[in-house]
Structure 1
Amino acid sequence: MGVDTMTAAGPAALGAAGPAAVRRARPARIVAVFVVAIATVVALAVVDLTLGTSAVGVGDLLGLLTGSGDDEALAVLIASRAPRVLAALLVGTALGLSGSALQSVARNPLASPDTLAVNAGAYFTVVLASVTGLTLPFAVNGALAFVGGLAAASLVLAIARGGAEGPTRLVLAGSATMLALSSLTILLMLLFEQETQGMFAWGEGSIVQSGTSKVAQAAPAVLLAGIALVLWARRLDVLALGDDTASVLGLDVRRTRIVSVLLAVLLAALAVTVAGPIGFVGLTAPVIARLVAGRVPGLSRHRLLLPLSALAGCVVVLGADVLLRLAVPGVASVAIPTGIVTTLFGASVMVWLARRVRDSGPTRSTASVGAHPASPRRVALVVTVLAAAVVSALVAGFLLGDRLLLMGDVTNWFAGVSGRQVSFVLDQRTPRLLAALLAGAALGLAGTTVQAVARNPLAEPGLLGITGGAGVGAVLAIVLFPGAPFWVTSAAAAVGALATFALVYALANRRGLSSDRLVLVGIGVSAAATSLITLIVVLTSPWNTTMALTFLSGSTYGRTAMQVWPVAVALLVMLPLVVRWRRDLDVLAVDDDVARVLGVQLERTRLSLLVITALLTASAVTAIGVVGFVGLVAPHLARSLVGSSHARVIPVAALLGALLVSVADTVGRTVIAPAQIPAGLLTAMIGTPYFIYLLWRTRRSAL
């Protein structure tokens, strides 16, 4: 079985020294590292204290130290700047410790509160609590965040067997869980807009504080959890040797893992309660610490590595805040969450780590899961049933909504003899129905091509960053060119999708395209794209977060006939091309060597198919916004129904995608009418359990 280079050695592969290096430990060098780290934290904290919207600089702060400062400088320091810096220090410490512990438990440098969905689970429970409209005590919010984060992390670790099946499966499980929780969170914010006002930007992680009360309440818990982890350090050192070796040495492996995860989740939950889910600090800080430890013998022991990770977390958060305030001076720097900068930096680190991965056996072995040969009669029956279901869904879409209609109303509307009210309703519904139907078909088709090319049934356009890139392009066009013709938005989405695809493809194509690298790089780029969308909205329209939430959740609200044309044209052009390459898709899904032996122009065909995927995804995004997991569920269900031959999978996946999105749109317009649930949220809620089931089902085949 092929093994990922990082996973085989765990986090030590990033440079942590082995036992021999520990014996050659040089205390002077270790002390020097901590002195430099502490000095860096202090310097960044001082610089951060001098930056802000008021004219309080270094001289004023020095005056306060010497007793000659004025009251204005003191008020600014106490009310605004000091709480912000203290929050950065607390959050950086908590997430640095949390990420380091999770990476050690999973023996995986990609494990973190983000990739294990701890932050997403904690954020969801905090938003859920805010829906009540009650002001809950800090301890209650912290407890709710802990429960949510622990539940999410437990699910992800169970699916990925504690990270033993490699970084790809761990990150995929975390991404799926995070997307489901994010969908539920967005739904709460849309349905309870007043109660959750201001939580959209906070959801990216903001260290802006009104006083020091939150930091003061969280600090003792962070300190105690940190001390407990350091006292637990010797057990983590033994655990790093492997489960079998650790058991032989008398370590209770299960207990060590449980306690470590509990402490790590508690630290992450406290950070979320204070400042929201600040992205990827728990990933980047331990990576930085382990890279330093690889050059300093003796520093890889957890009793030193954990404090160094905490200091690295402080450097990351403070550095991001300083960079933000220097790049965006004035009031805007207050509105922009610091977590956007840390996410962009963390996504870059994740991509760098992903480029160190080589293909693993487990991912490849799942490529044929659910693919059973089907007789021509069965294929014809499946296509007929699905076509009838799509027609039924279309009819139901015409009839159901905030106002129920009859078939006679629809028939009269088609004949041009309906009343004014019926005409108004159907004039609004028809573009929405067509947009959902065609976008679903496009996403099903895009998922089919990308899974074959990536040779991974767990891949889909959203997880490869293509959907996020199209979203960035579309949102940029909306905010930069308000009132512009719709083709401008469509073109911008296409450019964004193609640019993102080109970036992911170039980064993943290191000594040949790797399935694992393609997925991991795509997830990193997708996270960066989501943060960019938030940044654009906060900078250009900070009070119009509903626009961003609606777009990010995949809504057909307000669609017109002009917005349906791009996806219709894309399907008319791309579908024949995909059908033409159906045999090449069959070969690509097997192995590169087989494709070369059979005369397939591997790189050219692969590149062409991925370009088609990007264009189909971009057209779907312009039609209904960001919709996740349709490109995953539709192709996999198609293979389970008609087998792995793409001549059969292509039409079935397109029909399933159209059916899934159109049903989700109709249900979303009907169940809580006149309010609406965006279609993308429902597809995520449907697709995520299926995705988790797929990951769970393939655990044993991956062993």
Structure 2
Amino acid sequence: MSPPARPEARARRAPRLLPAAAVLAGTVGALVVLAALHLTQGTSEVDAGDLLRLVAGTADEGVLNVLEGSRLPRLAGAVLVGIALGASGVLLQSVARNPLASPDTLAVNAGAYLAVTAVAAFGITLPLLSGVGVAFTGALLTAGLVLALSAGGGESATTRLILAGSAAAMAGNSLVSLLILLFQEETTGLFAWGSGSLNLAGFDSTGQAAPLVLLAIAVAMLAAPRLDLLRLGDDTAASLGVHVRRTRTVAVVCSLLLASCAVTVAGPIGFVGLAAPVIARQVARRFPVLLAHRALIPFSALCGALVIVGADLAVRAILGADKSIEIPVGVTTTILGAGVMVWLARSVTSAGSEDRPAILHGAANRSRLAFLAVVGGLAAASVGALFAGMLSGDTMLLGGDLVNWVAGRTGASYTWIIEQRYPRVLAAVLAGAALACAGTVTQGILRNPLAEPGLLGVTAGAGIGAVALITWAPSAGPWAVTGVAAAGGLGAFALVYATAWRGGLDTSRLVLIGIGVWSLGMAAITLLILASDPWNTPKAMTWLSGTTYGRTADRLIPLVAALVVVLPLIIAHRKEIDLLSLDDDTPRTLGVRLERTRLLLLCAAAVLTAAAVAVVGVIGFVGLVAPHLARGLVGSRHARVLPVSVLLGVLLVSLSDTLGRTVIAPAQLPAGLVCALIGTPYFVWLLWRTRTRTA
């Protein structure tokens, strides 16, 4: 190229850069405006007029004290955390080549939160920079696990990534809940902080984290040209001189460091790392110059700051400044980000032939004698678990005590103990049966071996209904609670189903949208609990962790009724489930009304899940683990899978409840937490096994 052409090339490039510069300037201007509005809000009487007088030098000293002590630290924290999460999210999405990747969907926030909580639980006091190191370690471990488990999925990589991240996040949050319950004094306030809190006192944490954030962004900017080349594919980028592995490692480390700084300063603020890059990329489509990473990274960081400052403003404007102290800003951002995730998931399609039907994930069909032996063994184990549950607890009983109680010969103390214990044992048995049956139907109908009712929004919807009624009408009876919970679960499922329907039902799209709605529901439950009774952490843990504590016999009647009505319906359609587990064409060819049958069976699974949630709260992994174990034991025919899965669900929840009541007696662990601790390793193994198969 001749020298005179260079100025002309720069002149041609300048008009294309002007719109991008205008967008960046407009974003900065919008952030300045929101920041100014943010400073006018607070619990004190300092308003915009006082701030103007402060600028003019005529305000009293109290206005400056309010700004320095509360409002400026909160604003600085919001901006810094937003910048960190926005940049972290865009780096993860670029490395994973997945628009749904973020610090939340890759369980980065959950891992960092778990590490920080573990340090606090064991009474270790660390300076902020050491705390960033702890959070970074937790984030690195969980992100590495999720990325490893989700690799090799072919066209189904998006679904695998989100499912692996969701499972890791559920496991991490279960461990956090366990630590909060076991170390209540050491972890006071961590439940609210776990949803993201901007209640900062002073600039210490923000000032110490800011250099690390700037360093990580600077390193990412240096790697930006190589990230642009990675869009062309690994082989093409390598042929152009890019060290692919090194570039990805640098980007991931910068992303994890940014997310760790954000968690250390303000807790795990949800879905900002997903929403901000999506907003940035949508704007960049109209201004392609912004798609280059040297512009996209800072633009996404600014969008993250806008999201958090705007969310905090919205909470203060809607609920008032006093409530904004109790309600974490992360709840608002989770609602926004989960909505973005649902919107993105609507364009996802299944993996086609690469995604093996759930019915094929299992051993070869056993002989009738082997099947009966498995059923007999599991039935005996379930009966044994029931008796173990009756005998175990803070007071250990003997078999003779139960015989005397049945005969009416026990004393007052033992009678009281047994009458308090048997409803809990029966609740675990019934809930395990309901959740396992619902999981079997869900996996078969959706042909997705990684699906379970909780990931379809049913659990969250039922939880919202139950928690709302208990909060606003604490005297409501068991039938009312169950009815509202069932309505909430079915309503959430209807929302997921209708949103996922686009000329037909795509199973991967349904699962991803369900996870988004599940996140929305969990945020809504947290909002309800904190808005009504912000200091009642045990109440929150009761529903979010799943427990049989305080259950009475009359509260079990709705769940019994649901099983009596729904279970025969599902068994009657066992052959249709077999056909639907294959593909969509085979059942149509054999005369099955596909959509009507699929909707009927999924509604049946939703009713069972909602009834179980109304009785024992949110218990995860039962509907995932039990069907897989059942198929491994007796093959893929649902005439055999259903009874074996139900027995396995009974056994899993019963043992989890018994262990939770016994291991640290007289203290107790919720059954849902124990189920999560048991189910998570199995889920990890399942993902790894399917990863090696598809690879």
* TM-score of the superposed pair, with normalisation by structure 2: 0.96
Q: Partner of 2:187: helix, strand, or coil?
A: coil
Asked if 2 retains the 8 angstrom alpha-carbon contact of 1:399 and 1:406, the reply is yes
Asked if 2 retains the 8 angstrom alpha-carbon contact of 1:94 and 1:222, the reply is yes
Whether 1:666 aligns to 2:652 is no
Superposition map of 1:287-366 within 5 A: 287-361=278-352, 364-365=355-356
Amino acid at match of 1:500: A
Asked if 2 retains the 8 angstrom alpha-carbon contact of 1:107 and 1:163, the reply is no
Q: Partner of 1:251: helix, strand, or coil?
A: coil
Name 2:475's counterpart in structure 1: 483
Asked if 2 retains the 8 angstrom alpha-carbon contact of 1:100 and 1:286, the reply is yes
CA shift at 1:541, angstroms?
Answer: 0.6
Q: Pick from 27, 43, 57 the counterpart of residue 67 of structure 1.
A: 57
Superposition map of 1:98-109 within 5 A: 98-109=88-99
Asked if 2 retains the 8 angstrom alpha-carbon contact of 1:116 and 1:170, the reply is yes
Greater displacement, 125-134 / 388-397: 125-134
Amino acid at match of 1:104: S
Amino acid at match of 2:559: V
Q: Pick from 8, 24, 48 the counterpart of residue 58 of structure 1.
A: 48
CA shift at 1:477, angstroms?
Answer: 0.7
Name 1:374's counterpart in structure 2: 366
Name 2:272's counterpart in structure 1: 281
Name 1:10's counterpart in structure 2: none
CA shift at 1:483, angstroms?
Answer: 2.0
CA shift at 1:163, angstroms?
Answer: 7.8
Asked if 1 retains the 8 angstrom alpha-carbon contact of 2:153 and 2:694, the reply is no
State the alpha-carbon separation in 1 of the partners of residues 38 and 608 from structure 2.
45
Amino acid at match of 2:68: I
Asked if 2 retains the 8 angstrom alpha-carbon contact of 1:469 and 1:499, the reply is yes
> Residues 426-479 of structure 1: CA distance to partner in whole angstroms, max 9, x if unpaired?
111100000000100000000011111111111001111111111111000110
Amino acid at match of 2:329: T
> Residues 654-703 of structure 1: CA distance to partner in whole angstroms, max 9, x if unpaired?
11101100010001111111111111001111111111111110113334
Asked if 1 retains the 8 angstrom alpha-carbon contact of 2:357 and 2:582, the reply is no
Name 2:633's counterpart in structure 1: 641
State the alpha-carbon separation in 2 of the partners of residues 58 and 239 from structure 1.
48
Name 2:243's counterpart in structure 1: 252
Name 1:118's counterpart in structure 2: 108
Name 2:529's counterpart in structure 1: 537
Name 2:21's counterpart in structure 1: 31
CA shift at 1:372, angstroms?
Answer: 2.1
Q: Partner of 2:114: helix, strand, or coil?
A: helix
| Residues 363 and 463 of structure 1, relative CA distance in 2, 3 Å threshold | farther
| Structure 1: stretches of 5+ with no match in the other structure | 1-21
Q: Partner of 2:416: helix, strand, or coil?
A: helix
Q: Partner of 2:188: helix, strand, or coil?
A: coil
Q: Pick from 171, 182, 189 the counterpart of residue 191 of structure 1.
A: 182
State the alpha-carbon separation in 2 of the partners of residues 315 and 441 from structure 1.
46
Amino acid at match of 1:119: N
Name 1:607's counterpart in structure 2: 599
Amino acid at match of 1:297: P
State the alpha-carbon separation in 2 of the partners of residues 518 and 71 from structure 1.
57
Greater displacement, 688-697 / 271-280: 688-697
Q: Pick from 463, 485, 488 the counterpart of residue 493 of structure 1.
A: 485
Percent of residue pairs bearing the same amino acid type: 56
Asked if 2 retains the 8 angstrom alpha-carbon contact of 1:106 and 1:162, the reply is no
Whether 1:138 aligns to 2:128 is yes
State the alpha-carbon separation in 1 of the partners of residues 19 and 345 from structure 2.
30
Whether 1:151 aligns to 2:141 is yes
Q: Pick from 379, 388, 391 the counterpart of residue 396 of structure 1.
A: 388
Name 1:406's counterpart in structure 2: 398
Asked if 2 retains the 8 angstrom alpha-carbon contact of 1:556 and 1:624, the reply is yes
Asked if 2 retains the 8 angstrom alpha-carbon contact of 1:102 and 1:264, the reply is yes
Asked if 2 retains the 8 angstrom alpha-carbon contact of 1:470 and 1:492, the reply is yes
> Residues 141-162 of structure 1: CA distance to partner in whole angstroms, max 9, x if unpaired?
1111000011000000011128
CA shift at 1:581, angstroms?
Answer: 0.6
Name 2:39's counterpart in structure 1: 49
Amino acid at match of 1:170: L
State the alpha-carbon separation in 2 of the partners of residues 366 and 191 from structure 1.
41
Name 2:4's counterpart in structure 1: none
Asked if 2 retains the 8 angstrom alpha-carbon contact of 1:595 and 1:602, the reply is yes
Amino acid at match of 1:224: L
Greater displacement, 412-421 / 87-96: 412-421
Whether 1:621 aligns to 2:616 is no
| Residues 362 and 549 of structure 1, relative CA distance in 2, 3 Å threshold | farther
State the alpha-carbon separation in 2 of the partners of residues 647 and 25 from structure 1.
68
Q: Partner of 1:53: helix, strand, or coil?
A: coil
Greater displacement, 493-502 / 370-379: 370-379
Asked if 2 retains the 8 angstrom alpha-carbon contact of 1:369 and 1:698, the reply is no
State the alpha-carbon separation in 2 of the partners of residues 471 and 208 from structure 1.
28
CA shift at 1:363, angstroms?
Answer: 6.5
Whether 1:81 aligns to 2:71 is yes
Asked if 2 retains the 8 angstrom alpha-carbon contact of 1:461 and 1:631, the reply is yes
State the alpha-carbon separation in 2 of the partners of residues 24 and 388 from structure 1.
78
CA shift at 1:330, angstroms?
Answer: 3.3
Greater displacement, 155-164 / 232-241: 155-164
State the alpha-carbon separation in 2 of the partners of residues 426 and 191 from structure 1.
26
Q: Over aligned residues, Cα RMSD in angstroms?
A: 1.4
Asked if 1 retains the 8 angstrom alpha-carbon contact of 2:361 and 2:636, the reply is no
Whether 1:504 aligns to 2:496 is yes
Amino acid at match of 1:463: L
Amino acid at match of 1:494: A
Name 1:212's counterpart in structure 2: 203
Asked if 2 retains the 8 angstrom alpha-carbon contact of 1:84 and 1:208, the reply is yes
Superposition map of 1:455-604 within 5 A: 455-604=447-596
> Residues 194-249 of structure 1: CA distance to partner in whole angstroms, max 9, x if unpaired?
11111111111111211111101100110111111111101111111111111222
State the alpha-carbon separation in 1 of the partners of residues 583 and 51 from structure 2.
64
| Structure 2: stretches of 5+ with no match in the other structure | 1-11
Displaced runs of 4 or more, over 6 A: 22-25
Whether 1:239 aligns to 2:230 is yes
Amino acid at match of 1:173: A
CA shift at 1:487, angstroms?
Answer: 1.7
| Residues 669 and 85 of structure 1, relative CA distance in 2, 3 Å threshold | same
CA shift at 1:266, angstroms?
Answer: 0.6
State the alpha-carbon separation in 2 of the partners of residues 193 and 685 from structure 1.
20
Asked if 2 retains the 8 angstrom alpha-carbon contact of 1:365 and 1:701, the reply is no
CA shift at 1:136, angstroms?
Answer: 2.0
Name 2:215's counterpart in structure 1: 224
Q: Partner of 2:313: helix, strand, or coil?
A: helix
State the alpha-carbon separation in 2 of the partners of residues 247 and 23 from structure 1.
28
State the alpha-carbon separation in 2 of the partners of residues 652 and 510 from structure 1.
35
* TM-score of the superposed pair, with normalisation by structure 1: 0.95
Asked if 2 retains the 8 angstrom alpha-carbon contact of 1:460 and 1:631, the reply is yes
CA shift at 1:405, angstroms?
Answer: 1.1
Asked if 2 retains the 8 angstrom alpha-carbon contact of 1:386 and 1:655, the reply is yes
Greater displacement, 625-634 / 600-609: 600-609
State the alpha-carbon separation in 2 of the partners of residues 201 and 395 from structure 1.
39
State the alpha-carbon separation in 2 of the partners of residues 330 and 238 from structure 1.
47
Name 2:7's counterpart in structure 1: none
State the alpha-carbon separation in 1 of the partners of residues 124 and 141 from structure 2.
24
Asked if 2 retains the 8 angstrom alpha-carbon contact of 1:324 and 1:333, the reply is yes
Amino acid at match of 1:241: L
Asked if 1 retains the 8 angstrom alpha-carbon contact of 2:152 and 2:694, the reply is no
State the alpha-carbon separation in 2 of the partners of residues 242 and 376 from structure 1.
52
